[in-house]
Amino acid sequence: MTYRLAPIDTSTFAAERAAAAAGRGVDGGDFTVIGSVVQRSDARGHVTGRTEFFEDVLPPRLAHLKMHRSARHHARILDVDLTEALAVPGVLRILTHADIPNNLYTPLKLIGVGPDDEPILAVDKVRYLGEPICAVVAETEAAALEGAARIRVAYEDLPPVFDVEEALKEGAPLVNEYHGQNHFIYEGHHCRRIRFGDVAEAFARADHVFEWRYQSAPIEQAPAETTGCVVVPQADGRLRIHSDTQACFFTLDNTALILNTPFNKLRIVGGTVGGGFGGKVDVVVEPVACVAAMAADRPVRFVYDRAEEMQVSSPRAAERIYIKDAVMDDGRIIGRKATLYVDAGAYARHSPYGTTKAAAHLPGPYAIPNVWADCHCVFTNRTPSSAMRGFGVTIADFALESQMDRIARALDLDPLRLRLLNAYRDGDLKAHRKVAEGTALVEVIQKAAELAGHELPEAYRRMSSTTREGL
C-alpha cells in the first residue's frame, strides 16, 4: 500500500490503553482507531456511483427554474416585460419579487445580525451584475433558459462603485439603501475596532516604523458540483428540499422565514455536498425554488450552471489591508496599527461576521503590547462575498506574514528568529482581551526550522510556548 501511517505515540492515555487491553475499556473503546486504517464510510457509495447527490433525485413531473439576471452593475429597474418570455412553449410560470412572501433577508438574522438587506428577487434596483430579477419555471431546462433570455428589463443606469476606499468617501454612490451608508455598522460604530495599549506612544519611541499595503482579489470556491436544489411538494402540503447546502438548518430556518411558513412545513434532505469550501453556506437557491414549486404545484429543480457558479455565487471577499508597525532594532514589535477593508459586495451575507473574525485575528499570533485596528465591512457594486475556508483570517495572514518577512529583510534579521522573538506565549493577553492558551507557534517554528535545515542559535532553540525563556 502506498499511503503512510505515522507512528502513534502510545505514551498518551496510558491508563486507558492498559484498561482497554485488560478488557475494561471505557465505552467499549479500545484505543486502536488512531494508528489503524479506517475506511471512509462514504467511499463505497462514491466508487460505485450510488451516493445520492441532490441532482440525482429525479421526481416525476420535474420542472426547471432558470433566472433572469441583472445585466448592469448598478441600475434602477424601470420596467420588466415578460410578454415574450411567457410565450415560449413550455414556460409554466415566471416569478417576480411580488411572488415572494417575505422578499427581504440576510442569512445572519438568525444570530441577530441585521438589518435585512437583500431582496430574494430584485424590486426596483439592481446592485450587482448578475443579481436575480425574475425566475422562469418551465417544462424543460431549454425552455426555462429560452424564457429567461426573452425577458426584457429596462434600466436607468446608476453610477457604480467598485473600490472599498472609494465607496467610503463622501459623495460616493449609495450601494445598499437598507444600510443607508456603504458600510456595516457594528453596535453603533463605523467598523469593527480593536484598541489595545497606546500605539501612538509606541510609534513615537520605535527605532523603525514600517508601513505597507496589501490587496487580495476575490476567490471563487469553484466546487465541482454547482449550487442547487430540488424541491418536491408533499401530499401533506409540506416541501421536501433536496439541497447541496453546507448548512441544512441555516437553510431550513431562513427559507421558512422567507416563505412566511412554520419551520415544520419544510424538510431538508442534505449533507451530501459535491464540494463546498464555504460557497454553499448562503441561502440563495432554496427559497425561490420553494416558491416556484408551490406556484407550479410540481417538483422544481434550480441548479446554477457553471457560469452562474463563477459569476454570482459568493466568493471569498477581496480585502485591502494597511499594516503599520513600530519595531525596535532587535526586532521586537512594540506597536501594530492595521486598517482592513473587506469588500462585502452589494449585500452583507456573511461578511460582517468575516470582518469580525479578521479583527479578532489581529495582530496575528504575536505578542504585541500596543494594537490599533479598524476593520471595515464595505458595500460595493460587486458580487456579494461570503464564506470560504477561514474567511476573514486567511487574507489577513497573507498580509501579516508578508509584513513579517519584509520587516526581517529591512532589518537584515532571520525571519524565523523575528517570529520567535514576537510569537505569543501561553498567558499573553491578546489584543481582543482573550488570554492565549495552548499556543504552539514557537515549537512549530522550531520544528519547521529543523526539518528545513535552517540553523537556529541555542537561545532560540530553548524558547518555549509555556515559558518566558529567551525573551
Partner 1 sequence: MPSQIVSLVVNGERREFIAAPGVTLLASLRESLGLTAAKRGCAQGACGTCTVLVDGRPEVACLVAVETVAGRSVRTLEGVAAGGELDEVQNAFVDCFATQCGFCTAGMIMVAEALLDRDPDPSEADVVEAISGNVCRCTGYRPIVIAILEAARRRRGAVSR
Partner 2 sequence: MVIQAVHVPESAEAAVTYSARGAWIMGGGTVVMPLVNSGAAPATELVSLRRAGLGGVEVRDGVARIGAAATLAAVGEHPGLSFLRPALRTIASPTLRNQATVGGNLFVAQPYGDLAVCLLALDATCEIAGPDGRRDAPVADVLASGVGSGEVVVAVRAALPGPGVWHYHKAMRRRLNSAAIVTVAAVTRTADGVVTFSRIALGGVAPRPVRAVSAERLLRGRPLTHDVLTEAGEAAHGDIDPFDDAYASAWYRARVLPVHLRRALLP
In the complex, the residues that contact partner 2 under the rule CB under 8 A are 66, 88, 142-143, 145-146, 148-149, 305, 307
The three three-digit cell numbers of residue 241, written as one number = 428540499
The CB-of-413 to partner 1 minimum distance in angstroms stands at: 34
User: How many amino acids of this chain bind partner 1 (CB under 8 A)?
Assistant: 36
Q: What are phi and psi of 75, to 5 degrees?
A: -160, 155
The CB-of-421 to partner 2 minimum distance in angstroms stands at: 40
Q: Are strands 91-95 and 132-138 parallel, antiparallel or unpaired?
A: antiparallel
DSSP state of 234: -
Q: What are phi and psi of 322, to 5 degrees?
A: -110, 130
The CB-of-303 to partner 1 minimum distance in angstroms stands at: 8
Residue 146 contacts which entry, partner 2, partner 1, none (Cβ below 5-8 A, type-dependent): partner 2
Among 26, 71, 142, 217, binds partner 1 (CB under 8 A): 142
Cβ contacts of residue 188 below 8 Å, gap of 6+?
none
The CB-of-146 to partner 2 minimum distance in angstroms stands at: 5
- Cross-strand partners of 324: 211, 337
Please tell me the distance from the alpha carbon of residue 313 to that of residue 279, in angstroms, as a whole number. Answer: 7
Does 102 bind partner 1 (CB under 8 A)? Our answer is no
Count of residues making up the chain: 471
CB 229 within 8 A of CB 293: no
Among 5, 8, 29, 44, binds partner 1 (CB under 8 A): 44
Please tell me the distance from the alpha carbon of residue 258 to that of residue 372, in angstroms, as a whole number. Answer: 39
Does 39 bind partner 1 (CB under 8 A)? Our answer is yes
Segment interacting with partner 1 (CB under 8 A) among 104-112, 210-218, 275-283, 364-372: 275-283
The CB-of-145 to partner 1 minimum distance in angstroms stands at: 11
Residue 26 contacts which entry, partner 1, partner 2, none (Cβ below 5-8 A, type-dependent): none
The sign one gets for the Cα dihedral 53, 56, 60, 61 is positive
The CB-of-211 to partner 1 minimum distance in angstroms stands at: 36
Cβ contacts of residue 290 below 8 Å, gap of 6+?
231, 239, 241, 255, 259, 266
Site for partner 1 in 444-463 (CB under 8 A): none
Taking residues 410 to 449 in sequence order and writing x for each that binds partner 1 by CB under 8 A, - otherwise, the string is: ----------------------------------------
Does 41 bind partner 1 (CB under 8 A)? Our answer is no
Cβ closest to partner 2, residue 16 vs residue 305: 305
The three three-digit cell numbers of residue 331, written as one number = 526586532
Cβ closest to partner 1, residue 3 vs residue 27: 3
The CB-of-310 to partner 1 minimum distance in angstroms stands at: 10
Residue 36 contacts which entry, partner 2, partner 1, none (Cβ below 5-8 A, type-dependent): none
Cβ contacts of residue 370 below 8 Å, gap of 6+?
196, 197, 198, 199, 201, 202, 326, 334, 335, 336
Does 71 bind partner 1 (CB under 8 A)? Our answer is no
Does 389 bind partner 1 (CB under 8 A)? Our answer is no
Residue 3 contacts which entry, partner 1, partner 2, none (Cβ below 5-8 A, type-dependent): partner 1
The CB-of-223 to partner 2 minimum distance in angstroms stands at: 18
Please tell me the distance from the alpha carbon of residue 378 to that of residue 319, in angstroms, as a whole number. Answer: 10
Using alpha carbons, select from 298, 319, 327 the residue that is nearest to residue 138: 298
Q: Are strands 333-345 and 371-379 parallel, antiparallel or unpaired?
A: parallel
